[in-house]
Structure 1
Amino acid sequence: MGGVARYLGELVRTAGDMTVVVNTTHEVTGPGHVESRELVRTAWPHWWPMVRVCREFGSAASFVLVSHVLPVGTAAMIAKWTGGVPYVVLCHGLDVRLAAGHRRRTFVFRQVCTNAKLVVANSEATAKDIRALVPGLRVLVLTPGVRPAATMSRSDARQRLGVSADEEVVLAVARLIPRKGVDVLLDATDRLPNREKLTVAVVGDGPERAKLEQMAEHLKHRVRFVPRATDEDVAAWYAAADVFCLPLREHANDVEGFGIAYLEAAAHGLPVIAGRSGGAKEAVVDGKTGMLVRPNDPDDVARALASLFEDPVRRGRMGEAGRARALSDFRWEDRWKRLMDNI
């Protein structure tokens, strides 16, 4: 499940009893009652059936919560024009960048945002991009939240995963796409030959996996790829790790809106090394809960890793500060309340 889906899922889960409409090509399962209906595409554009869905369900609600500006926001806007259904639109980062620099998309983006009851951004960085396209627009910044981490001892986690007690474990949990910077992490690992106990665990899958595995061929004994991991496996890796490292960067106009994985790592008491890109600068307090490094600079990443492993007291202090901040400042319950207070 990607960051956007997790953001929406947790936000709705916090809201309690409500109807959630999901447009998907996959079977939907989960707690509660799930009712499936077939949407038949009878004409272009492909999002047109969503207009009917917004009107049908929105008529019984105070507003429709729209997951993306384009194209779902277009359907919600038409439903408002034709049926008076108000809507709130969420923006995540890449969706805003895709609208910029494209005349038709920019026009539609502005129309969707100005007709919305409220526009929500997942970070100040995303809000800045929105205001660049729609000057003067009121934008509510609602960063992702995090839930308390499941308790698993370090020793139990390492035994489960086959990790020895003296290994220095660097963890990256991500969809393997260019902007995540996992290739930079592997380059940095190659620059630390003297750290013989260093192990990098890359948990996640994606289109870059084959390229990254090939890149790590000569690091085989130091890099473990875990493409298929259960929630319990991911929790075990968080418990087993010493440092979380994901040197994000912008890539072909793709940007990380916030970085939910950073919060999850912090909730597990891990110091975080993050790329100074997009909303990551809001997820990590440089020098307090982790370190911000220059994107595309493996030497900078290597220095950050070495400094944390050479100073376990500092590493522990950052991890505890990150945990305290995550659990006090990023509660999902507070996010839903803020949303409702601003509508």
Structure 2
Amino acid sequence: MVFVRRFLPSMQLLCSFEAAARLESFTAAAAELSLTQSAISRQIRALEDILGSDLFHRERQTVRLTRAGEAYAREIRDALNMVSAATLGFRASPRGGSLNLAVLPTFGARWLAPRLRGFADAFPEITVNLTTRLAPFDFALDHVDAAIHYGMENWSGARMVPLLSEVVIPVCSPEFARRHPLGRIEDVLNVPLLHLASRPDAWERWFTAMHCPVTDLRGMVCDEFTLTSQAAAAGMGVALLPRFLIERELQRGELILALDAPMSGGERYFLAWPAERRDYAPLRHFREWLVQQAEQDALHHVVAEESERSF
């Protein structure tokens, strides 16, 4: 993209405008930027001359953004945040660059974070910056290089590589299992169920897979995996959770199988990235490393399951 210089106001003008718009005061902006009120006023007027329109309504001793000024302030603030993030990323890793990755909170904490030391050892010149995200987002608006996605391979405009499939299991606390007999699929219908907000139909799909269709499934709703697993461990009900994300709780005995009835879904975890970042070196190295980690993890679980069946 070729920038037209006359459409690029100086950074000083933009910073003064952003502060005045955010604080709704030329005086407060001047104090924040260690300038005089008259200097801020002159800079705002210079920016308005470039734009050919007023950014503020000036009413006696107060200023108020115009409607167009509000929209411009949002975009300028986003642009300044991008410049700041790019500068911070460069300072953090001046030799190899950085990778900004959006991750699902529990996947990031339970699966990815414990493995990142391996990537850091292999590529010490690359800094990985993590941000958590539950809801889907647009690569054009959210400034990340890649994201961990769970679902189907249907992210429009993105490139994707599959990582891990998922097996969900019904789990509860040992104390809950003692209070509620759970020998049959039908028994699960008669106990409190814990629902995950991001997967509202998970229990319905599980009962269908177990050939026990239902129409009314009530119970407590939690907005993320960790809270759901903690509620189950506290004896609040039976939760349907991915086995590989609750291995610690299973090993410690905080959660146990409510019923030996696993279900494999058609959805998977993917690494997704915008097409234009395909050849970005930090992303390329991370993608290759992450796929290798996922393959090793899948092999580990196959071996573990075969070992369990042998006893």
Question: What TM-score results when the alignment is normalised by the length of structure 2?
Answer: 0.32
Q: Higher relative contact order at CA 8 Å, sep ≥6: structure 1 or structure 2?
A: 2
Larger Rg: 2
Q: Which has the higher strand share?
A: 2
